Amino acid sequence: MGDSPPDGPFAILLVEDEPVIRELVRTMLSDGEVQVECAANGAEGLKLARSRKFDLILLDVVLPQLDGITVCRMLKSEPSTASVPLYMLTAKTKKSDVEVATRAGANGYIVKPFRGSELMDLVERLRRERRG
């Protein structure tokens, strides 16, 4: 799998079990140039992440079936997904939790409740990097 063409839509995978947050993020970020696909649990997220190339993965820490840290560790150990920027969504702000996410290979984290502008800034920054 190569990189997606820089002029294609910026594809985001959101793994989040709370429907309200899924809808909020989807509505906030989706436009003609940004596409958001959602998974409601860790197993579904893992399957989707392996099925196609994403430009960004937003991964909740506390998820049913397979927790976010485990999903992160798996994605970061597989060649086809290891290079995809992955940010954890976490309600936990304890330093040890951030360290666990970082050790699992996450590129960064966003603390809940997050502001829409934080997510949009992140997406903008990654889109600029993708364009080079």
Of the candidates 11, 43, 62, 84, which one interacts with Ca ion according to CB under 5 A?
Answer: 62
Applying CB under 5 A, does 66 fall inside the site for Ca ion? no
Whole-number minimum distance, CB 98 to Ca ion, in Å?
17
- From the list 9-17, 32-40, 76-84, 120-128, the region that binds Ca ion by CB under 5 A is 9-17
- From the list 5-13, 59-67, 99-107, 124-132, the region that binds Ca ion by CB under 5 A is 59-67
Applying CB under 5 A, does 60 fall inside the site for Ca ion? yes
Applying CB under 5 A, does 44 fall inside the site for Ca ion? no
Length of the chain: 132
Size of the site for Ca ion (CB under 5 A): 3
Closest CA to 127 of 4, 6, 25, 26: 6
Give buried/exposed letters for 25-60 (b at 16+ CB in 10 A, else e).
bbeebeeeebbbbbbbbbebbbebbeeeebbbbbbb
Cα–Cα dist 70/32, whole Å: 32
- From the list 10-18, 26-34, 44-52, 114-122, the region that binds Ca ion by CB under 5 A is 10-18
Cα–Cα dist 93/109, whole Å: 10
- Catalog residues that contact Ca ion under the rule CB under 5 A: 17, 60, 62
